[in-house]
Structure 1
Amino acid sequence: MALVLIDARRRILEANPAAESLLKMSRRALAGRPMSEVIYHDSPIFELIDRADRQSGDIMAPGTPIAGPGMHNGIICDIRIRSADDGTFVLALAETPSRESSDSVAGAAGFGRILGHEVKNPLAGIIGAAQLLERQGQADQSELLDIIKDEARRIERLVNRLSAFELFSAPRMQAFNIHALLDKIIAAERAAIGANVSFNREFDPSLPDVIGDADHLQQAFQNIVRNAAEAAIDNGSHGSVTIRTSYAAGLSMKQARRGAGLRKAMMVSIEDDGQGISRERQATIFDVFQSSKSGARGLGLSIVSEVVAAHGGQIRVDSEPGATRFTVLLPLGDGVDHG
């Protein structure tokens, strides 16, 4: 594991032998040198360091490309960054064992730039057209136009982050109201699905704000809700989707980010009355490239699993004909609840 200690000015203070090997520079040459002279300044690692400076807890970004004068075509690393009270940062970098070739790194960078350019331009046009219609349209159209603008801006933010190689496994944590987010999803899905699905809300108003990445969690919950809605009408008739929130007894932290024990948790469940998912499919439903049109469970569930795990949470699915429930547990607060 390569370890690098840097100060608040992003200058290297110390590096271990593994870092010398990874960065292709000796400790003597690295000491006192700005990070931007070792790793190219447009690398995502600098954004990750900035985020570590703004928020508590470790910042993790697996499969992140880095390149520098001594690394030629670049490498893929799993990165973990921890900030200290004295303003320094410890960077832990492990070269990904199954890293892609240098051509793949360059190709990913090129894809990110193309994605950022080619998608953001039409999004700007969509937002502009919605604003124009809002000025000229009727009052009963305002809710739909707000959905168009909000969704376009959210996609724009996600594209910006993807083009900077920011993964779903590296969330930007801040407090937000989970019910406001779920209401946005319900409004968007009602507009997309139509009147064939009834969306039922059973929210616990006493829940506090959740600490998480609102864009990432919206993407995750919207994937689940969309799949549930499609499953509910898969047999061609009217269906229903019920979204519930509540406190959970406790979230086991054995595989989460902040140590063992139980923490207070929020539960969000999405249930549909569709045909259900077979037991065999349930075992692989969160794997990449697992999809089933008849079950209406698509590729997005691998993203859902990644987002929930990055938030220190858990997800499970329970299904039988007429009742499929996805349950997401998200930790609340920083304390550990041993009761």
Structure 2
Amino acid sequence: MSEIVYHDSPVFELLDRAQRTVGDITAPGTPISGPGLLSRHICDIWVRSTDEGGFMIAMCDAATRDVNESAAGVAGFGRILGHEVKNPLGGIIGAAQLLERQSVDGQSELLEIIKEEARRIERLVNRLSAFELFSAPHMEPFNIHALLERVLASETAAMGSKVEFKRDFDPSLPPVIGDSDHLQQAFQNLIRNAAEAASDGGVPAKVTVRTSYAAGLSFRQARLGAGLRRAMLVSVEDTGKGIPRNRQSSIFEVFQSSKSGARGLGLSIVKEVVTAHGGQIRVDSVPGSTRFSVLLPLGTGERSDG
């Protein structure tokens, strides 16, 4: 297929997802270009993996009118996103740097959070305006605990004394292979949801974040090469009211939210990010306790004590 479409084409990401997913993968309005194509196409793509390890794939050109309108709309959105969001982010970073020069005790850590979060949003905006999706992560090794500490520092600053955040980390875990920006966005959504649920569930409001090896579980990770990868578990548990049983099976779908004014995108993004990393996510909830469990393949590093 690389003789027809470029090796970094979204088609290969869809095939990778289909290999890990039971059921159909659909991607309407996907841009396709390559050495075997005379021009760039916008296609509706359908993919399904077969029991023999192969794939069934169908691609249909969108109507010419739709192609022109969609391409113009996406390109226009990319320009607006890149300009209208990145400019104020630059101002936020600059203001934080100026305040840092005059900061008093206790402020420098908060200003560092502002700068780091603004830079992370700027990176995501750059990637989104280049039409990158959460389903196409940049895979590199990184320390999961450093990522979680950044998220917890940000959420502690946002929630203040309303929520107690607890950590239960296994320091012997090796690096995770993944996209740190995408996974930070996913865990930020999970931890923020947990904090908001806990603060609505009465006192004391607690959120506990744990990491550990997932005993007895391995992933066959095509993206990272042949062979099995051991799995790690990251769980986020809150003391909120819980999720009704009849909603637990649909909370990862787009536009499913019980929060007033919410758009229902957060958990759907979490699932998309985790799935794109070859992982799994599940929820267990009863009144007074909700736990989201994320399983991710580990890197090849050895266990360490620190």
Short-chain TM bin: 0.7 to 0.9
Deviations along 1:56-79, whole A, 9 cap, x unmatched? xx799966424699547x413669
1:318 & 1:126 partners in 2: Cα distance? 39
Unaligned runs of 5+ in 1: 6-14, 20-44, 53-57, 81-92
Q: Is the 8 A contact 1:66 1:76 kept in 2?
A: yes
Corresponding residue of 2:51? none
Q: Report the CA distance between 1:139 and its aligned residue.
A: 3.0
Larger Rg over CA atoms: 1
Tell me which amino acid in the other structure corresponds to 1:75.
I
1:67 & 1:262 partners in 2: Cα distance? 33
TM-score of the aligned structures, taking structure 1 as reference length = 0.72
2:127 & 2:189 partners in 1: Cα distance? 19
Whose RCO is larger (CA < 8 A, sep 6+)? 2
How many residues are paired up?
Answer: 276
1:330 & 1:67 partners in 2: Cα distance? 32
1:76 & 1:259 partners in 2: Cα distance? 29
Corresponding residue of 2:43? 76
Corresponding residue of 2:59? 95
1:239 to 193, 205, 210: 205
2:62 & 2:291 partners in 1: Cα distance? 35
User: Is residue 2:100 matched to residue 1:122?
Assistant: no
Change (3 A) 1:297 1:105: closer
Q: Report the CA distance between 1:140 and its aligned residue.
A: 1.4
SS at match of 1:284: coil
2:140 to 168, 174, 180: 174
Q: Is the 8 A contact 1:252 1:261 kept in 2?
A: no
1:113 to 72, 79, 84: 79
Could you tell me the percent identity over the aligned residues?
68
User: Is residue 2:250 matched to residue 1:284?
Assistant: yes
Change (3 A) 1:160 1:64: farther
Tell me which amino acid in the other structure corresponds to 2:247.
R
1:279 & 1:234 partners in 2: Cα distance? 19
Tell me which amino acid in the other structure corresponds to 1:282.
Q
Q: Is the 8 A contact 1:256 1:309 kept in 2?
A: no
SS at match of 2:230: strand
Name the Cα RMSD after superposition: 3.5
Deviations along 1:276-319, whole A, 9 cap, x unmatched? 0011110101001111117x894200000000001000000000
User: Is residue 2:135 matched to residue 1:135?
Assistant: no
2:292 & 2:131 partners in 1: Cα distance? 29
Unaligned runs of 5+ in 2: 19-25, 48-56, 302-306
1:260 & 1:316 partners in 2: Cα distance? 26
